[in-house]
Structure 1
């Protein structure tokens, strides 16, 4: 028999030949079978393959185009005939005077080779502008009040360069820290650090002091390499040159939208009121900055809201005469009468001011009253003024107790009369007071039914000597005179008397004590929420299936499905939603780059239907608002529509106050400032997110609010309004996470019970429910223990809430049985543009 070798498991297996992604010569020869391919310069897609020289030339052209675009954007700001460079001066300590730096820079500009240095007063505050031929640049200095945080952020939004001013003899305080923090959070442009007071310091200590200030500023701005002094003329000239040559980096959100910082503001009141509204046309004159200005889009003005553009007109450039290279004769010769129309909104393409939808109240086939029926009901149930005829000298308090008699009694009055007749009569033990005679008449001869009120006929009977029914005869002057008393005036007099007896200082102390007790209670609840998250006690006096009827159980919080369109509240019919928000954002950005007026032009924007009070305030700023700068922002398409916006925020370390879920918070974004109710939820992955009852400082969270659409991950600063005052306290920093109304935020509650009798994997549990119907209602919900076991309810025992449960492991006596229930949480619809004016913000301390 011939022997044959069989390879075993240890036989060597050599690797195959790896020839890479290309095919071998043999394979190509077999595929071609002797045919020769044509020498084509086209790729697989049919495109022409450019040579190496052509590709190099194309790359060179692209670099040249980008270089020209960057230089053109730089020349738009700071040039002699273009928009001036906006410099925001922000002091970081109490001893730093930003006005001193501004005056020093303006003085240097006048002393050097400068054609003019003038001051231009803007809409909200004084902005000083100077033009330098030597530096070929124009500067506009904004003196910012560091104590007004909103003013600091508005100035940073519009500024091209921010100058932080420090002092050698003053340490940075809390206001300076908050100003720096908010400026960095909202989007900080290029910055310069300035120190004052070095000349007053001894020569030996100057280096040490400057090093200390530099260390403090470098903590906040590590990229800033040096600090410039500004005590002498030489220092000011060096600072001015540094501002002119400073590299200007663009802020992303600012380069996507057009904005105008007005040099002139005018308001024309409409003589004919539209629909009874007192409004007019606002005229803002200034340079277009940022991106292209589209007349079809809405504009937003802080403090006023969203408005429509009526037209955009080219204005006479007052700074063209300083340009030595160009002869812009059109801008110089142009007057107010020779307006050059640049853009007029298209009636079919312009955005409307409709920010929310009107819900269809008949969608669920319910019948609601019309407006006419509501007005008729109001007229029917309107309480007329009660005029009572009483004797002269009767006090308001006595008149309030006199009941008018009616001839026609309805069924209700008859029933009350029958009830009064059935009651036993009693004698009055009080004295009857006669105001005219100014003496007391004893009631030995007067008897009235116990529940019968003193009526006008009784008074007339007493006056005429006739006792009438239920009243015995008494001698009273028959010449008694009567007078009319209005019930409303009587009530007002009673209120005034009550107010006179109040101690307002004591009331204020009691209110402060009440607020302090509420905050202590909230702090205790926050600590309980951290120690025992989501645990609540089952009510004893109310069935659990009624108290928690909106809650449901989930087998798995991660994998169980929850329909985002299920059982939506009525407010969801008022918002706008997007099928694909990312695609819409991309389309809107491309549209904004194509259409509109190019930046750098000096224009006058006419804004229609502006409230008269707000327009006059802009045209003639008051002392109160003189330190708040104004800027007009051109919104993108859909950015005026209401929807659900989700912000990712993290609590700031300076705020230690307890903030509960659904609190009214103030949000400051680059586009607008608004107040809205907030729903906190966990910042995790998945399609469902657990609601947080408090804003904890240990982790970032997502805040969901009803707000207008925000495109892009815009920076956000959140403030808390202190109850009983107009003070805003910095609360959190973050950015826009998403615009998604389908985000499912679930409120979780945990009902707990204690094992009563244990038999290995079976146990009798009590104190979770207190009746048999609740056990049957929640029988299908899964149970879990803090020891890691899973189980379910098998049956009820007795009628007092005891139930038999089975688990997947051995039960321990010290373990706790829990049940998780969920319901979807929605924010409240109380959006307010700006900071809501309210003296007191109520805080509900109930869970």
Structure 2
């Protein structure tokens, strides 16, 4: 009998013995692996349950399948193992290692032999174990399969060969790793015994051989048991979702967790009557406590007033009528209702106070500011006039900014016929639910019950929180006056604690320091009183700490001496002194003789039209003066030639609204109209070209490419090639502050603000004194993380826009860059510059501006000729102040393969002289069909060159070279809109 037949016979006999002995243990293992958590307390509990409920023969369920297949499995396993061991022994004998006959195998050889044996075994053991596990886990009552052959037939007919081999991947992993460890451990123990006692393998006693086999078996199961657990669950799982499949893959099975409520014991406990009653009671108490805590600030005689912003959305509606009709339901005397501004009202019937903020129609920015501080916003609708474009713009902007509790109502004075009333209300509700989906009804203020219900919502309900206001103190100014040289703002603190050490922001005017915070009397009193009712002086509640108070310094001071520079020579210093002397000798200009400023405006433009032109001395597309392309430079020169000088009045063209309306618009001449039309068409064509051929430009013929693109560099990989973020930074970069860890700083700021005693508690009526506020703040009296949306026009990088972020409004010239999926930075934190803000795309806008904390809403607006009707360009949220973010502008130089031979091509039209070819030779080339290559040599003097690529190319391809340059944003400025003085009202936010 040959050696191979002996191995197969021994393997078969061993496999049958293994099945007969191990089958009872295996069924217990499978039952515990596949049952729900908590079904069995342990191995004995499971075995006892099987014996009691199913009888002793149940331990041998599914035995026929492994008996028929295990012989073949183990035969293949031992056959492959012995063949592999003999192969390695022969290799060792040739190399002179592993003893005289090479049979002493190394650890790697033993493990490899076990892996190959397990892999060969898995192709037979996978289907065998699948059928066996299906038979072991099925119920005795109405079993699915009558036996192994029936199981194979049904599974194959329904799911094919893939159903038979279900779980084969995890079976291969288990068998390969397990038997690699098993045979390595067994052979190493045997080799150790032979070496210690200097005996042959045949001389090892059977007892020790069994002991070594048991030890190797323990090592096998220690490694493969987690894998076997996954295998059992996958092979007992359904074949599809219709069959109750729970696991989609090995990874899904590994991370899936089973709910404890799925177990019989836990489920029974959770569904008990007592537990259900306790859970309901706890949920009720939590909701009640949440409601009480949320409305506690409004409770009591001196509680904080509920701020209600009333915004008309159509021209025929007045906010004054809406607030007055609501107040009539309170049964309180009404003397005068202001048309605009804040109207304070005490609702004794509901034991609260209301401050109505009446807003005019088409006052866009006032509506935005009012909603920043309001608890409720009432949108007044008309049943006869549709909401126009301005109302739609306002609603979209407020939706992006964050809306408080919304109430939609039909304004009084518009009686609705009973027949048409349901249809009108349904139409208005459908419209408003798009912007505030939680609305369930429209209140008709012409009906008494609806007025009372609307008033109940305003006085008894819990207003929704605006998330970006959480953790911040804010206040609606009820009274604003100048006291002792400071601006004194009186109101009730809302949100979080107000600290005198922190800066406060006045919309339309900027940030200011607090000099002190005093207590203020309630609305029912003229002066503060003590417990006995005697008038007392206001109490100082908080004063700034000189060591901890915030500074007004928002930008860093650049140190020019830290740059690399040469010291000026004596001659240069002498020339500078002479120039200063000449300037000092000039007489002072007489009053009224100052030369008027001059603007560059197009020909044919009137002085009134010139007033709308914004000076853009520094609005070039690139900070370094490098234009987009030759065509851009030529267009700029042509535009400059068409411009004329126009004097600007000393008043800086400030005019009131009435003067704007009285000036007639002057039509431009035909030539100017044609020029502006052509300019608009060129811009549209440029945007379309950038969309179809992004970043591609033509190499100029009259300027060497090495000069035109001297500020650009090549990169082997845009995501991984290193880029030093501190290299060649502009001077403006020295003005910004850098956080060592922004997230840690944000957490520290929030923790400090939440500490007890950090400031004056919310709900306290105070007077806040602000230092160094300009006088016009009291005269004009201010009242209160992008995605391109509906704006269809082109928006280029550095186009002037208005950014609304949290309580601030800034004039910005943002630059745009790609938003990587998942917010990843790549290995080098380099992001591609985008020339345009694309419609419907997600883009990152970057500016130099004030840092904010939290996920603040951001809205980008574009000004129009109507200051109260800007265009909504984009909406998003604040991301982070990442000063290490490198925004790289890409240019693509393209060439044509003039001649092609397999992987080599002669390229033309990328350069036009040989010096440029040598200059850009180190930079990698690529084609639009996915090939990459390098310049080999220059050919001739006209810019032709030979290039070699990593694969064959054809003449239909395009050769490209990418060049990159870092670009920087511009500094943001505070946006200040001109407003007419209104009745005393103000808004202040921290």
Q: Partner residue of 1:239?
A: 454
> Residue 317 in 1 paired to residue 522 in 2?
yes
Q: Which fold has the larger relative contact order, with Cα–Cα distance below 8 Å and residues 6 or more apart in sequence?
A: 1
Q: Partner residue of 1:534?
A: 695
Of 86, 99, 102, the residue aligned with 2:323 is 102
> Residue 86 in 1 paired to residue 307 in 2?
yes
> Residue 650 in 1 paired to residue 756 in 2?
no
Unpaired runs of at least 5, structure 1: 27-55, 270-279, 322-327, 387-490, 497-502, 619-627, 631-646, 838-847
Q: CA deviation at 1:599?
A: 0.4
Alignment check: 8 A CA contact 1:95 1:169 kept: no
SS of 1:776's equivalent in the other structure is helix
Of 973, 977, 985, the residue aligned with 1:832 is 973
In structure 2, how many angstroms separate the alpha carbons of the residues matched to 1:256 and 1:199?
42
Q: Partner residue of 1:380?
A: 582
Of 720, 723, 727, the residue aligned with 1:562 is 723
In structure 1, how many angstroms separate the alpha carbons of the residues matched to 2:500 and 2:794?
45
SS of 1:737's equivalent in the other structure is coil
SS of 2:464's equivalent in the other structure is coil
Q: Partner residue of 2:845?
A: 703
SS of 1:708's equivalent in the other structure is coil
In structure 2, how many angstroms separate the alpha carbons of the residues matched to 1:517 and 1:173?
32
SS of 2:936's equivalent in the other structure is strand
In structure 1, how many angstroms separate the alpha carbons of the residues matched to 2:850 and 2:867?
27
Q: Partner residue of 1:75?
A: 296
In structure 2, how many angstroms separate the alpha carbons of the residues matched to 1:811 and 1:64?
74
SS of 1:90's equivalent in the other structure is strand
Alignment check: 8 A CA contact 2:802 2:863 kept: yes
Alignment coverage as a number of residue pairs: 649
Alignment check: 8 A CA contact 1:320 1:331 kept: no
Q: CA deviation at 1:367?
A: 5.6
Of 478, 483, 498, the residue aligned with 1:293 is 498
Aligned in 2, Cα 1:593/1:375: closer, same or farther, shift over 3 Å? farther
In structure 1, how many angstroms separate the alpha carbons of the residues matched to 2:12 and 2:704?
75
In structure 2, how many angstroms separate the alpha carbons of the residues matched to 1:800 and 1:261?
71
Aligned in 2, Cα 1:100/1:585: closer, same or farther, shift over 3 Å? same
Q: Partner residue of 1:663?
A: 799
Aligned in 2, Cα 1:317/1:384: closer, same or farther, shift over 3 Å? closer
Q: CA deviation at 1:117?
A: 5.2
In structure 2, how many angstroms separate the alpha carbons of the residues matched to 1:153 and 1:234?
30
1:504-653 superposed matches below 5 A: 505=666, 514-594=675-755, 595-618=758-781, 629-630=783-784, 647=785, 649-653=786-790
Q: CA deviation at 1:677?
A: 1.6
Of 763, 767, 774, the residue aligned with 2:905 is 763
In structure 1, how many angstroms separate the alpha carbons of the residues matched to 2:488 and 2:945?
75
Structure 1-normalised TM-score?
A: 0.70
Aligned in 2, Cα 1:810/1:61: closer, same or farther, shift over 3 Å? closer
Q: Deviations over 1:46-75 (max 9, x none)?
A: xxxxxxxxxx99x99999799657524412
In structure 2, how many angstroms separate the alpha carbons of the residues matched to 1:674 and 1:371?
41
Q: Deviations over 1:702-738 (max 9, x none)?
A: 1001110110111111111237978632211111122
Q: CA deviation at 1:509?
A: 7.8
Q: Which moved more, 1:773-782 or 1:130-139?
A: 130-139
Q: Partner residue of 1:302?
A: 507
Aligned in 2, Cα 1:382/1:724: closer, same or farther, shift over 3 Å? farther
Q: Deviations over 1:330-355 (max 9, x none)?
A: 289575x7121100110000000111
Q: Which moved more, 1:369-378 or 1:665-674?
A: 369-378
Q: CA deviation at 1:286?
A: 0.7
Alignment check: 8 A CA contact 2:863 2:870 kept: yes
In structure 2, how many angstroms separate the alpha carbons of the residues matched to 1:610 and 1:249?
33
Q: Partner residue of 2:424?
A: 209
Alignment check: 8 A CA contact 2:320 2:338 kept: no
Alignment check: 8 A CA contact 2:411 2:444 kept: yes
Q: Partner residue of 1:179?
A: 394
Structure 2-normalised TM-score?
A: 0.60
> Residue 672 in 1 paired to residue 812 in 2?
no
Q: Partner residue of 1:253?
A: 468
Q: Deviations over 1:491-532 (max 9, x none)?
A: 999x99xxxxxx994668876665544332221111000011
SS of 2:513's equivalent in the other structure is strand
SS of 1:689's equivalent in the other structure is strand
Structure with greater strand share of residues:
1
Unpaired runs of at least 5, structure 2: 45-276, 589-644, 651-663, 979-990
In structure 2, how many angstroms separate the alpha carbons of the residues matched to 1:332 and 1:251?
39
Q: Partner residue of 1:363?
A: 562
In structure 1, how many angstroms separate the alpha carbons of the residues matched to 2:866 and 2:292?
52
1:135-150 superposed matches below 5 A: 135-150=350-365
Q: CA deviation at 1:77?
A: 2.9
RMSD: 4.0
Aligned in 2, Cα 1:725/1:120: closer, same or farther, shift over 3 Å? closer
In structure 2, how many angstroms separate the alpha carbons of the residues matched to 1:166 and 1:9?
90
In structure 2, how many angstroms separate the alpha carbons of the residues matched to 1:151 and 1:509?
40
Of 732, 735, 739, the residue aligned with 2:877 is 735
In structure 2, how many angstroms separate the alpha carbons of the residues matched to 1:225 and 1:153?
24
Of 823, 830, 833, the residue aligned with 1:691 is 833
